[in-house]
Structure 1
Amino acid sequence: MIRILAAACAVLALGLAVCAWLLDEKGEALANARGEVAQLQADADFFERAIQARDSVDHQFQEALGNVQAEHDHLADGIRTGKYRVYVNAKCPVSNPGTAGSVDAGRTELDPADGQRVADLRAGIQRLEAKVKGLQSHIREVCK
C-alpha cells in the first residue's frame, strides 16, 4: 500500500511539475503578447496623430485654394463688368526724335479680354504658391 501511495505521490508530483512548466510557458506567451499589443497601440497612436496632422494641413491647403479661387472670381467678374480695369506701364521708344510726343506713355489700359488673361495668370501663380506652401507644410507637419 505504501508503494501505491508513493507511486501516486510521484505521479502527482510529476503532474504538478508539468502543470507548473505549462503555466510558465503560457505566462511567457502572455507577457510577449502584451508587449506586442502595447507596441501595436503605440504604432496606432502614432499613425492617428500623423493622419490628424495630414488632415489639418489638407484643410488649410483647401481653404487657401478656395480663397484664391474666390479672389480670382471676384477680380474676373470686376474686369468683365468694367468695375476693374487692368493697366500696364508702357514705354514707347522714340521712332522719330524730331516729332512731338512723350517717350513715356504712362499707364495704358488693356482690353478686357487681355485683362482677363492677366487675372487668370495671376490666379494660376497664386494657386501654385498655395500648393507649394501646402506641400512644405505637409513635409514639416506630417513627415517629421
Structure 2
Amino acid sequence: MTRYLIAGLAMALVLALWRLDHISTSLDTATERVGVLESQAAAYEQALNVRDSIDAQYQEAIRNAEQSKPQLVADLDTGVKRVYVRAACVPANPQPAGRTDAAAPQLAADARQDYADLVAAHAKVTAQVIGLQDFITNVCKRTTSK
C-alpha cells in the first residue's frame, strides 16, 4: 500500500514539475514579447517626436508665408518691390506730332493682389513639399529599415 502511495506521490511530483516547467517557459516567452513590444513602442514614440518636430518647423514656414502676403501687397503698392511683366505702354496723351506721352507700365490693383496670392501660395506649397520630403527621409525610411 505504501508502494502505491509513494508511486502516486512521485507521479504527482513529476506532473507538478512538468507543469511548472511549462509555466516557466510560457512566462519567458511572454517576457520576451513584452521586451519586443516595449522597444517597438519606444521606436514609434521617437518617430512621432521626429514627425512632430518636422511638422512644427514647416507649419512655421507656412505661417510666415501667409503673414508676408500683406507686406508684399503694401510693397507693391508703394513701389518698394516691382514686378516685371511684358507689357505695352498705352499713351496717356496721344499727340498728333508723333510724340506720345506714355504712362509707366504697372500692375493693376487686382493684379497686385493676385500676384501676392501666388507668391504666398508658392511659399506655402514649397514649405509643405519640403516638410513631406523631410518626413519621408527622417521617419518613413527609418521605420521601414528597422
Q: In the alignment, which of 34, 37, 40 is matched to residue 37 of structure 2? A: 40
In percent, how many aligned pairs have the same letter? 31
Structure-1-length-normalised TM-score = 0.77
Cα offset, 1:130, TM superposition: 0.9
| TM-superposition CA deviations, 1:41-89 (whole Å, max 9, x none) | 1111111111111111111111110011111132234546x47564426
- Contact 2:87–2:105 (CA<8 Å) still a contact in 1? no
How far apart, in 2, do the equivalents of 1:91 and 1:56 lie? 45
Matched, 1:17 2:14: yes
Q: How does 1:1-144 map onto structure 2 within 5 Å?
A: 4-79=1-76, 82=78, 84=80, 86-88=82-84, 90=86, 108-144=105-141
Whether the aligned pair in 2 keeps the contact of 1:54 and 1:142 (CA below 8 Å) is yes
TM-score, normalising length: structure 2:
0.76
The answer to whether the Cα contact below 8 Å between 1:64 and 1:130 also exists between their aligned partners in 2 is yes
* CA distance 1:9–1:56, change in 2 (3 Å): same
Find the structure with the greater CA-based Rg. Answer: 1
Structure 2 unaligned runs (5+)? 89-97, 142-146
Counterpart amino acid of 1:113? D
1:21 alignment partner AA: W
Deviations 1:71-125 (A, max 9, x none): 1132234546x47564426576xxxxxx668xxx9x7332222222111111111
Runs of 5+ consecutive residues of structure 1 not aligned to the other structure? 93-98
Q: Within 2, Cα distance between the matches of 1:138 and 1:66?
A: 19
Q: 1:55 to 1:141 in 2, by over 3 A?
A: same
- Which of 24-33 and 112-121 deviates more? 112-121
| Contact 1:68 1:127 (C-alpha < 8 Å) held by counterparts | yes
